[in-house]
Structure 1
Amino acid sequence: MSLKQTLKKAKQIERQLEQQAEASAQHSLGTVKPRNYLALDPLLRKGGIHEKEDIDIVRKKRRRETKQQLRKTDWLSE
């Protein structure tokens, strides 16, 4: 092989490596970690004895229950 052919072959190899590096960089940026649905399981949340009985928490609970009751009522039939 002549020097000219060797240089040409080296440039081709460099271009291929750059393209592969760009493709792998784009691929790694596009990957998304799967969501851990086990962490969202209600059985794994705090509650019961461990739940704080703070005044604010009690008010929030009472307010949420009231809102749920108001949503359930049929206002058009009354």
Structure 2
Amino acid sequence: MEFQLLIKKINAFAKLSKERELTYEELHERHKLRMEYLSAWRKSLESKLEHITVIDKNGNKIKIPSKKKT
């Protein structure tokens, strides 16, 4: 699901929660949407960070090594 649609649905739950208490199913759905959004956001960030290089004092381009999860 794309970011904008996820944000729209999450915001709809936020608005609804201000009007009334959310049901168990709505809370569960909101949690799923939030986790999906965070996962997509992290993947996007990791992708951007993979393409970043740092230039040292000598002008050499250094690619930042990725952190491996253990």
Quickly name the TM-score band, shorter chain normalised: 0.3 to 0.5
Structure with bigger helix share is: 1
Structure with bigger strand share is: 2
Q: Considering only CA atoms, is the larger Rg found in Structure 1 or Structure 2?
A: 1
